[in-house]
Amino acid sequence: MRGDFDGDGVDDYALLLKNNKSGLTKVVVALCGPDKQCRSIYRLDVSSDAGVVYLRPSRIGSTSVGVQVIYFEKGKVLLSWNKKLKRIEEVPAGD
């Protein structure tokens, strides 16, 4: 999915990547700069839930978007950018 996760006005990316050979599945968040160069800043191993996890955007304030990692019938985690610490934080999310 695409969205401005860090509020800088440039689209960033959240990806659900699966290696079909190894079965390893990860959520990866990449922040992009004005030059369109992106860097991976967050990885979460979801291999044990690979068949039941998906990503959804979640509006945070007026300028940023977070990433909901949804585990079908198990729960949710919101990934949001902490401007002060300059990193992605995991916040348990309710229904």
Q: Identify the three-state secondary structure at position 72.
A: coil
Q: What is the pLDDT of residue 63?
A: 67
- DSSP bridge partners of 18: 25
Q: Where are the domains positioned within the chain?
A: 2-93
Q: How confident is the model at residue 64 (pLDDT cuts 50, 70, 90)?
A: confident
Would the pLDDT of 21 be above 80? yes
Tokens (6 digits) for 5 = 């996760």
Phi, psi values for residue 50, rounded to 5°? -55, -35
Name the DSSP letter for residue 10.
S
What does the pLDDT read at residue 94? 65
- Is a pLDDT exceeding 60 seen at residue 71? yes
Tokens of 22: 């190894």
